Chain A
Amino acid sequence: MSEVVTWIGSSLAVAGALAAIIGSLGVIRFPDFYTRTHAASITDTGAATLMILGLILISGWSVLALKLAIIWAFIMLTSPTAAHALTNAAYGAGERPQLGPWRLFDRDRKEAER
Protein backbone atom coordinates (compact mmCIF):
# COMPACT_ATOMS: atom_id res chain seq x y z
CA MET A 1 0.00 0.00 0.00
CA SER A 2 2.53 2.53 1.14
CA GLU A 3 4.78 1.65 -1.77
CA VAL A 4 1.99 2.37 -4.18
CA VAL A 5 1.36 5.71 -2.53
CA THR A 6 5.07 6.52 -2.70
CA TRP A 7 5.11 5.56 -6.34
CA ILE A 8 2.12 7.77 -7.09
CA GLY A 9 3.70 10.60 -5.15
CA SER A 10 6.95 10.27 -7.06
CA SER A 11 5.10 10.23 -10.33
CA LEU A 12 3.32 13.42 -9.37
CA ALA A 13 6.66 14.99 -8.55
CA VAL A 14 7.98 13.97 -11.94
CA ALA A 15 4.88 15.42 -13.54
CA GLY A 16 5.54 18.64 -11.64
CA ALA A 17 9.10 18.72 -12.91
CA LEU A 18 7.84 18.21 -16.45
CA ALA A 19 5.43 21.08 -16.00
CA ALA A 20 8.32 23.22 -14.84
CA ILE A 21 10.37 22.29 -17.88
CA ILE A 22 7.47 23.10 -20.17
CA GLY A 23 7.05 26.43 -18.43
CA SER A 24 10.73 27.23 -18.83
CA LEU A 25 10.56 26.35 -22.50
CA GLY A 26 7.60 28.65 -22.81
CA VAL A 27 9.51 31.43 -21.14
CA ILE A 28 12.28 30.97 -23.65
CA ARG A 29 10.17 30.48 -26.75
CA PHE A 30 7.27 32.89 -26.42
CA PRO A 31 7.61 36.14 -28.30
CA ASP A 32 6.86 38.87 -25.79
CA PHE A 33 6.85 39.59 -22.12
CA TYR A 34 3.16 38.98 -21.47
CA THR A 35 3.01 35.58 -23.08
CA ARG A 36 6.14 34.64 -21.19
CA THR A 37 4.55 35.71 -17.95
CA HIS A 38 1.59 33.58 -18.81
CA ALA A 39 3.80 30.56 -19.37
CA ALA A 40 5.83 31.13 -16.24
CA SER A 41 3.10 31.89 -13.76
CA ILE A 42 0.73 29.13 -14.77
CA THR A 43 3.34 26.43 -14.81
CA ASP A 44 4.91 27.67 -11.59
CA THR A 45 1.77 27.25 -9.59
CA GLY A 46 0.85 24.09 -11.45
CA ALA A 47 4.24 22.50 -11.00
CA ALA A 48 4.31 23.48 -7.35
CA THR A 49 0.88 21.99 -6.77
CA LEU A 50 1.75 18.71 -8.45
CA MET A 51 5.09 18.38 -6.82
CA ILE A 52 4.00 19.31 -3.33
CA LEU A 53 1.00 17.04 -3.56
CA GLY A 54 3.36 14.26 -4.52
CA LEU A 55 5.68 15.01 -1.64
CA ILE A 56 2.75 15.13 0.78
CA LEU A 57 1.73 11.69 -0.39
CA ILE A 58 5.25 10.44 0.18
CA SER A 59 5.60 11.92 3.64
CA GLY A 60 2.21 10.74 4.87
CA TRP A 61 0.49 12.25 7.87
CA SER A 62 3.26 14.18 9.61
CA VAL A 63 4.60 17.61 10.38
CA LEU A 64 6.31 17.46 7.02
CA ALA A 65 2.98 17.31 5.26
CA LEU A 66 1.82 20.34 7.19
CA LYS A 67 4.94 22.27 6.28
CA LEU A 68 4.55 21.28 2.66
CA ALA A 69 0.97 22.48 2.76
CA ILE A 70 2.11 25.79 4.16
CA ILE A 71 4.69 26.12 1.41
CA TRP A 72 2.00 25.37 -1.13
CA ALA A 73 -0.28 28.01 0.34
CA PHE A 74 2.58 30.46 0.28
CA ILE A 75 3.38 29.83 -3.34
CA MET A 76 -0.26 29.97 -4.34
CA LEU A 77 -0.57 33.33 -2.62
CA THR A 78 2.68 34.95 -3.66
CA SER A 79 3.40 33.65 -7.13
CA PRO A 80 0.23 34.94 -8.85
CA THR A 81 0.41 38.17 -6.90
CA ALA A 82 3.97 38.70 -7.99
CA ALA A 83 3.08 37.95 -11.60
CA HIS A 84 0.18 40.37 -11.38
CA ALA A 85 2.33 43.09 -9.86
CA LEU A 86 5.00 42.57 -12.44
CA THR A 87 2.73 42.73 -15.46
CA ASN A 88 0.99 45.70 -13.95
CA ALA A 89 4.30 47.47 -13.53
CA ALA A 90 5.40 46.55 -17.02
CA TYR A 91 2.19 47.77 -18.57
CA GLY A 92 2.23 50.94 -16.53
CA ALA A 93 5.79 51.64 -17.58
CA GLY A 94 4.95 51.29 -21.27
CA GLU A 95 5.76 47.70 -22.15
CA ARG A 96 3.16 46.60 -24.71
CA PRO A 97 2.10 43.16 -25.96
CA GLN A 98 3.39 42.36 -29.40
CA LEU A 99 0.49 40.66 -31.10
CA GLY A 100 -3.13 40.95 -32.05
CA PRO A 101 -5.83 43.47 -31.29
CA TRP A 102 -4.00 44.68 -28.21
CA ARG A 103 -2.20 47.04 -30.48
CA LEU A 104 -5.48 48.67 -31.21
CA PHE A 105 -6.29 48.97 -27.57
CA ASP A 106 -2.96 50.51 -27.00
CA ARG A 107 -3.41 53.15 -29.66
CA ASP A 108 -6.88 53.94 -28.37
CA ARG A 109 -5.54 54.49 -24.94
CA LYS A 110 -2.79 56.72 -26.18
CA GLU A 111 -5.30 58.85 -28.01
CA ALA A 112 -7.54 59.05 -25.01
CA GLU A 113 -4.62 60.33 -22.98
CA ARG A 114 -4.05 63.10 -25.45
Chain B
Amino acid sequence: MLLAAAAAGLMTAMALGLVRALIGPTSYDRILSANSFGTKTVMFIALIGFVFGRPDFLDIAIAYALINFVATIALMKFFRYRSLQASLSRLAPAKDTGADAGGAP
Protein backbone atom coordinates (compact mmCIF):
# COMPACT_ATOMS: atom_id res chain seq x y z
CA MET B 1 0.00 0.00 0.00
CA LEU B 2 2.82 2.33 0.86
CA LEU B 3 4.41 1.47 -2.46
CA ALA B 4 1.22 2.41 -4.23
CA ALA B 5 1.30 5.73 -2.38
CA ALA B 6 4.88 6.20 -3.56
CA ALA B 7 3.80 5.47 -7.12
CA ALA B 8 1.00 7.98 -6.80
CA GLY B 9 3.42 10.55 -5.45
CA LEU B 10 5.81 9.93 -8.29
CA MET B 11 2.96 10.25 -10.74
CA THR B 12 2.11 13.63 -9.23
CA ALA B 13 5.72 14.68 -9.54
CA MET B 14 5.71 13.66 -13.19
CA ALA B 15 2.56 15.63 -13.86
CA LEU B 16 4.02 18.68 -12.12
CA GLY B 17 7.26 18.31 -14.01
CA LEU B 18 5.33 18.26 -17.22
CA VAL B 19 4.01 21.73 -16.50
CA ARG B 20 7.44 23.27 -16.91
CA ALA B 21 7.97 21.38 -20.16
CA LEU B 22 4.74 22.84 -21.44
CA ILE B 23 5.11 26.44 -20.36
CA GLY B 24 8.80 26.89 -21.03
CA PRO B 25 9.62 29.75 -21.33
CA THR B 26 13.05 28.95 -22.75
CA SER B 27 13.95 25.75 -24.54
CA TYR B 28 16.44 24.98 -21.78
CA ASP B 29 13.62 24.81 -19.30
CA ARG B 30 11.83 22.37 -21.51
CA ILE B 31 14.90 20.20 -21.90
CA LEU B 32 15.58 20.31 -18.20
CA SER B 33 12.04 19.32 -17.50
CA ALA B 34 12.13 16.55 -20.10
CA ASN B 35 15.36 15.22 -18.65
CA SER B 36 14.04 15.26 -15.13
CA PHE B 37 10.84 13.67 -16.41
CA GLY B 38 12.94 10.88 -17.89
CA THR B 39 14.64 10.22 -14.58
CA LYS B 40 11.28 10.06 -12.83
CA THR B 41 10.12 7.67 -15.52
CA VAL B 42 13.00 5.36 -14.70
CA MET B 43 12.02 5.38 -11.05
CA PHE B 44 8.39 4.91 -11.91
CA ILE B 45 9.09 1.84 -14.05
CA ALA B 46 11.20 0.34 -11.30
CA LEU B 47 8.50 1.06 -8.74
CA ILE B 48 5.54 -0.05 -10.79
CA GLY B 49 7.13 -3.46 -11.22
CA PHE B 50 7.00 -3.91 -7.45
CA VAL B 51 3.51 -2.46 -7.18
CA PHE B 52 2.06 -4.79 -9.80
CA GLY B 53 4.08 -7.75 -8.54
CA ARG B 54 6.16 -8.29 -11.65
CA PRO B 55 9.54 -6.67 -10.98
CA ASP B 56 11.33 -8.45 -13.86
CA PHE B 57 11.31 -5.47 -16.11
CA LEU B 58 14.05 -3.44 -14.52
CA ASP B 59 16.08 -3.99 -17.69
CA ILE B 60 13.85 -1.53 -19.43
CA ALA B 61 14.50 1.13 -16.85
CA ILE B 62 18.22 1.07 -17.61
CA ALA B 63 17.46 1.72 -21.25
CA TYR B 64 15.34 4.71 -20.28
CA ALA B 65 18.11 6.22 -18.19
CA LEU B 66 20.52 5.74 -21.03
CA ILE B 67 18.28 7.17 -23.72
CA ASN B 68 17.41 10.09 -21.54
CA PHE B 69 21.09 10.91 -21.18
CA VAL B 70 21.99 10.61 -24.83
CA ALA B 71 19.01 12.69 -25.94
CA THR B 72 20.02 15.42 -23.51
CA ILE B 73 23.59 15.40 -24.80
CA ALA B 74 22.28 15.71 -28.33
CA LEU B 75 20.13 18.66 -27.34
CA MET B 76 23.07 20.24 -25.57
CA LYS B 77 25.18 19.93 -28.71
CA PHE B 78 22.35 21.42 -30.67
CA PHE B 79 22.53 24.57 -28.59
CA ARG B 80 26.19 24.83 -27.99
CA TYR B 81 27.61 23.89 -31.36
CA ARG B 82 24.71 23.98 -33.81
CA SER B 83 26.06 20.72 -35.12
CA LEU B 84 25.90 17.08 -34.18
CA GLN B 85 29.23 16.22 -35.75
CA ALA B 86 31.59 18.47 -33.83
CA SER B 87 33.96 17.03 -31.29
CA LEU B 88 33.36 18.47 -27.86
CA SER B 89 37.00 19.16 -27.27
CA ARG B 90 37.88 20.68 -30.55
CA LEU B 91 35.55 23.28 -31.85
CA ALA B 92 35.05 26.63 -30.30
CA PRO B 93 31.53 26.87 -28.94
CA ALA B 94 28.99 28.75 -30.94
CA LYS B 95 28.87 32.43 -30.25
CA ASP B 96 26.60 33.89 -27.62
CA THR B 97 23.57 34.50 -29.71
CA GLY B 98 21.03 32.48 -27.82
CA ALA B 99 19.07 32.13 -30.99
CA ASP B 100 16.49 29.76 -29.65
CA ALA B 101 16.32 30.69 -26.04
CA GLY B 102 15.10 34.20 -25.64
CA GLY B 103 17.13 34.65 -22.49
CA ALA B 104 20.08 36.76 -23.65
CA PRO B 105 20.83 39.67 -21.30
Bound pair (A, B): yes
| A residues lining the B interface (CB < 8 Å) | 7, 10-11, 13-14, 16-18, 20-21, 23-25, 27-28, 33, 36-37, 40-41, 44, 47-48, 51-52, 54-55, 58-59, 64, 67-68, 70-71, 74-75, 78-79, 81-83, 85-86, 88-90, 92-96, 103, 106, 110
Bin chain B's interface residue count: 35 or more
Pair A88/B103 contact, Cβ less than 8 Å: no
Given contacts A78-B68, A93-B79, A95-B103, contact A67 B9 (CB under 8 A): no
| Segment 33-77 of B: residues with Cβ below 8 Å from A | 33, 35-36, 39-40, 42-43, 46-47, 50, 55, 58-59, 61-62, 65-66, 68-69, 72-73, 75-77
A52 CA to B103 CA, complexed, in Å: 36
Q: Give the contacting residue for B47; candidates A13, A85, A89; CB below 8 A.
A: A13
Task: Give the secondary structure class of B's interface.
Answer: helix
Q: Is the CB of B46 within 8 A of A55?
A: yes
Check A44 against B28 for contact (C-beta < 8 Å): no
B-side contacts of A28, CB under 8 Å: 16, 19-20
Which of A17, A21, A78, A83 has most chain B Cβ within 10 Å? A17
Smallest CB-CB separation from B51: which chain A residue?
A13
Contact indicator B6/A89 (Cβ below 8 Å): no
**Could you tell me the distance between the alpha carbons of A74 and B78 in the complex, rounded to whole angstroms?**
23
Is there an interface contact between B97 and A94, defined as CB atoms closer than 8 Å?
A: yes
How far is A79 from B71 in the complex, measured between Cα atoms in Å?
Answer: 12
- List, in ascending order, chain A residues with CB within 8 A of B43's CB: 16, 20, 47-48, 51-52
Partner pick for B72 among A7, A36, A54, A86, CB 8 A cutoff: A86
Q: Which of A16, A55, A58, A82 has the most CB of B within 10 A?
A: A82
